[in-house]
Amino acid sequence: MDIVYIRELEIETIIGIYDWERKQKQIVSLDLEMAADISAGAASDDIENTLDYKAVAKRLIEFIEGSEYQLIETLAEKIAGIVIQEFSVPWLKLRIGKPGAVTGAKDVGVVIERGVKFGSS
């Protein structure tokens, strides 16, 4: 299994349960690992034959900037659904956090895995 990844993508959005969070955009940070077979892209040297991480990032930025979820868990599930369905990714691991959301902590959030890894039974 090959992995195409995006690290520390930061996007401003409305996220949270408190009144102040519903009025003020906050940064969410994500790391995304996506299963992909990169051999066709590597052989052809053509972006059309591989998973385009820039296209994935652009789609997620657009979606997250326009979202207004209360829970980071909900946002994580929606992101996973977009990546799996729209980019035909069979497996992903997503870490999404809210930097500075808890006093004294650098970051808080969730990590999810969805789909089936290549070679898994």
Active-site choice (25, 98, 106, 117): 98
pLDDT value for 116: 86
pLDDT digits (tens, 9 = 90+) for 34-84: 999 999 999 999 999 999 999 999 999 999 999 999 999 999 999 999 999
**What is residue 99's three-state secondary structure?**
coil
Residue with tokens 């956090």: 97
Show the tokens assigned to 89: 């990714």
> Is the confidence at residue 29, as pLDDT, over 80?
yes
pLDDT tens track for 78-101 = 999 999 999 999 999 999 999 988
Looking at every residue in the chain, the average pLDDT score rounds to 94
Q: What is residue 93's predicted lDDT score, i.e. its pLDDT?
A: 98
Distance CA 90, CA 69 (A): 25
Task: Specify the CATH number of the domain 2-115.
Answer: 3.30.1130.10
Residue 23 annotated among the catalytic residues of the structure: no
What is the domain partition of the chain in residue ranges? 2-115
111: alpha, beta or left? (left if phi > 0; alpha if psi -120 to 50): beta
Please check the confidence at residue 121 and state whether its pLDDT lies above 60: no
φ/ψ region of 69 (left if φ > 0, alpha if ψ in -120 to 50, else beta) reads beta
